[in-house]
Amino acid sequence: MDSPKEVTIYDIAKKLDVSPSTVSRALKDDPTVSKNTKKKVFETAARMGYRSNQFARNLRQQQSLTIGVIVSELNNPFITSVLSGIEKIAGEAGYGIIITDSSQSAKKEAANAQNLFQRRVDGIIASLAPDTKDLAHFKPFVTKGIPVIFLDRVEHMAESTSVVINNVMCGYVATKHLIEQGCRRIAHVTSALQHNIYAQRYKGYRDALEENKIPFDESLLVIMEEAEEAGEAAAKKIMRLQPMPDGVFVTGDFAAAVCIRTFQDNGVRVPEDMAVVGFNNEVIGRLIKPTLTTINYPGKEMGEAAARNLVNHLKGLGNIGSISTLTIRADLIVRQSSLKTG
C-alpha cells in the first residue's frame, strides 16, 4: 500500500486561494502577514496534516538543532539523572538530543561518535567509556568547529570543556568523616584504578589517611567489578581480615548497600562494628537500614551545566576554546550507617 502524499505549502495555498509565498511567510510568523491570514493558514495546515520540513530548513541554516550525547551505560541512576539535566536545558533552548550508549566500550564509543558526526549534530556531550584513552574519534568535531564537552569520565583534549566533580576531595571527605567517627582501620572498596575517577577517589582516601597519620595497609584496598556478587565478595573479604576493619569507604551506593546486607547477615553490626560510607546518593541509600551515608553525585546539575555551556556556545553567548574544566560541588550526606559517635 502506498504511503499518503505529504501535504505541502502549495496544497495549503490552493485550498486557501493564496500564494505559496504567503503560506510560507505565515508559517514563519512573518509580521508582514495579517493575523487573520495567519490564523487561516495555521488552522488549514493543522486540518490537512501539514508537517514542516525541519530537516531541510536546518540544512539550509547549517544546523540540525540536535545535540549528540554519548554515555558509557544507560542502566545507571547517575547517568539517568545526567540525561534528565541535559534534556531539560536542551529542550528549553529548542534543541533535541540523540542518546547513544557505548556499553563501556571504547570501540563502540568511536562508532557512536562517527554516527553522530554523520548525522550533523551541532555539538557533543560525552561521558567516556572506562577503556577510552585515544580521543581520535572526537577530532573530526573539533576540525569542523563542532563543540565537544566531556562529562564525569573525562580525558583532556584541545578545544574541549570538561564538567566534573572533585573526586580527590570527595574521597578525602568520605575517609576523613570515618576517621572523625573514631575509625582507624578503614577499608576502601573500589573499581579498577585504571579508571581516572576511581584513581582520584583512591588518592583522596590515601590523603586523608596520611594527614591523620594512619599508615596505609594494602590489604584494606579491595578492587571489585560493578556487580552485586562483587559487593558481597568484597564484604566477605573485609570480614576475613585480621584485625577486622572498623570502617569502609565504598565508591558506589549499590555496592555499599550489598556490603551492609552482607555484614548484617554475618553478625557484623553497622555502624557499631563497621561504619560505612558510599558514593552517588542513589535511592537505595535512603531505603536500607541503617540509611547510608554517601557523597552526593549531582548528576542532574552536571547534565544541566554541560548542556547550558554547550547551548550558550552554540548561541554565541560563550566560548569553548582551549581546555577548560567546570567543577560541580559534591557534598557528604551524613546518615545512620557511619555514625559511631552520634
Q: Are 281 and 294 in contact (CB under 8 A)?
A: yes
Cα→Cα distances 197→165, 174, 204, 210, 221, Å: 9, 15, 11, 20, 16
Closest residue by Cα to residue 248 from 279, 225, 226: 279
Centre a 10 Å sphere on the Cβ of residue 244 and count the other Cβ atoms it contains. Answer: 13
The reported pLDDT for the residue numbered 60 is 47
CATH topology of domain 64-164+299-327: Rossmann fold (3.40.50)
pLDDT, mean of residues 117-138: 90
- Which pLDDT belongs to residue 177? 98
Give me the residue spans of the domains in the chain. 9-52, 64-164+299-327, 167-296
pLDDT of residue 116: 92
CA-nearest of 302, 263, 258 to 278 is: 258
Q: Which residue did the predictor score with more confidence, 56 or 67?
A: 67
> How many Å from the N-terminal Cα to the C-terminal Cα in the chain?
73
Averaged pLDDT of the chain? 88
User: Worst-scoring range by mean pLDDT, 161-165, 249-253, 313-317?
Assistant: 313-317
| Architecture in CATH of 9-52 | Orthogonal Bundle (1.10)
Q: State the pairing for strand pair 221-223/186-190.
A: parallel
Q: How far apart are CA 253 and CA 277, in angstroms?
A: 8
Residues 34-66: tens digit of each pLDDT: 989 988 988 888 888 776 655 445 444 456 789
Select the more confidently predicted residue: 131 or 188: 188
pLDDT over threshold 60, residue 24: yes
Binning pLDDT at 50, 70 and 90, where does residue 231 land? confident
Cα distance between residue 108 and residue 103, in whole Å: 7
Residue at 4: amino acid letter: P
At residue 55, the pLDDT reads 46
CA distance 243 to 240: 8
Percent of the chain with pLDDT over 70: 91
pTM of the model: 0.78
Q: What is the C-alpha radius of gyration for the chain, rounded to an integer number of angstroms? A: 26
- pLDDT number for residue 158: 64
Per-residue pLDDT of 168-195, as tens digits, reads: 999 999 999 999 999 999 999 998 888 8
Please check the confidence at residue 1 and state whether its pLDDT lies above 50: no
User: Do 64-164+299-327 and 9-52 fall under one CATH topology?
Assistant: no
| CATH class as words, domain 167-296 | alpha beta
- φ and ψ of 123, to 5 deg: -165, 165
Q: Which amino acid is at 178?
A: L
Whether pLDDT at 307 is above 60: yes
**CB–CB of 270/192 below 8 Å?**
no
Pairing of strands 294-295, 332-333: antiparallel
